[in-house]
Structure 1
Amino acid sequence: MLAQRLEMPQLDIPVQAQPRKQMKTDARPSRALRFRCLAMVLFLIALGVFVTARSAMIISEGYSLVEMKSQAIKMEKENEVLRLEVARLKSPQRIQAIATSQLGMVVPTNVYCAANAQAKDSQPLVAQEKEVGLVNGVVNLLKAAKAEASHKN
């Protein structure tokens, strides 16, 4: 069942159209807004430059630090080599060999010792030793000096 449509009579009443309020729509943004946007863009650019420059400085300092560490290791190795060279040059055997061969020195046969103040003789004692015993004494002194030198290093 379909409902019937009732027709209403149309009244011809003039409807007055109300005037629309025109909003002021300016296509250009205000100067203050443009200045803010420009300031924000400049700030972001400056921030990017700052971060980039800071990163470059950090990387540069890192490279110089690595280079300094490698130089320090190299100098420590060189220092150790020089210490070994000094120990070799100070060795008593080397000094004795140079003294006897190049300088013409000989091992003394007489050894003079100062007497103790409490001794009856105030004259220095002259000890006559065999050459073998003297050489052994010198060798023992040289060994003691070598041991003392090794303890210092």
Structure 2
Amino acid sequence: MLSQNVQMMDYMDSMPAGISIPREREKESTGSLFHNVILGIFMILMPFLASTLLNSINVQAEYNMQQVRAEVMHLEKENSVLKLEVSRLDAPVRIQKIAETKLGMRLPVRNVYGGQEAARSSAAVR
């Protein structure tokens, strides 16, 4: 490496004095500096931009979750009201009242589960 630097120095001495470095190389170094500055600014701002984007996505997801929770609470309330209505409709007193008024059914005066008729029929079978 050191020998190459020495050879370059000798080469530069042998060049005529009227030759200068081309302008294109000067522009490349200035452009390279500009690109490096822009890249540095971009690298600094990128985490902030990513953080802001992720935060906005998180806020939107929380808003959607809040809407879903409100809908669930509304449906649970509606479900409890409907369960109460079903229990009211299944009440035996209500069914008996409808049977008596709309269908003309009557409760028997006495229930016969067994008695003299049952005793006679069982005696006859023996």
Same-fold call, TM cutoff 0.5? yes
Q: What is the number of equivalent residue pairs in this alignment?
A: 94
- 1:57-76 equivalent positions in 2, closer than 5 A: 57-76=57-76
Whether 1:36 aligns to 2:63 is no
Q: Return the structure number with greater relative CO, CA threshold 8 A, min gap 6.
A: 1
Once the two structures are TM-superposed, the CA of residue 81 in structure 1 deviates from its matched residue by 0.8
TM-score by length of 2: 0.59
Deviations 1:41-83 (A, max 9, x none): 2223433332221111111111112222221111111111111
CA RMSD across the alignment: 3.2
Cα distance 1:45–1:122, how it changes in 2: closer, same or farther (>3 A)?
A: farther
Cα distance 1:122–1:78, how it changes in 2: closer, same or farther (>3 A)?
A: farther
Q: Equivalent residue for 2:122?
A: 121
CA distance in 2, matches of 1:69, 1:84: 23
Greater per-residue helix proportion: 2
Q: Equivalent residue for 1:93?
A: 93
Deviations 1:4-31 (A, max 9, x none): xxxxxxxxxxxxxxxxxxxxxxx98935
Of the two, which has the highest radius of gyration?
Answer: 1
Counterpart residue identity of residue 62, structure 1: E
Gaps of 5+ in 2: 1-25
TM-score by length of 1: 0.50
CA distance in 2, matches of 1:71, 1:37: 51
CA distance in 1, matches of 2:68, 2:123: 65
Runs of 4+ in 1 over 2 A off after TM superposition: 27-36, 42-49, 108-114
Q: Equivalent residue for 1:105?
A: 105
Once the two structures are TM-superposed, the CA of residue 33 in structure 1 deviates from its matched residue by 3.6
SS at match of 1:106: coil
Taking only the aligned residue pairs, the percentage that are identical comes to 28
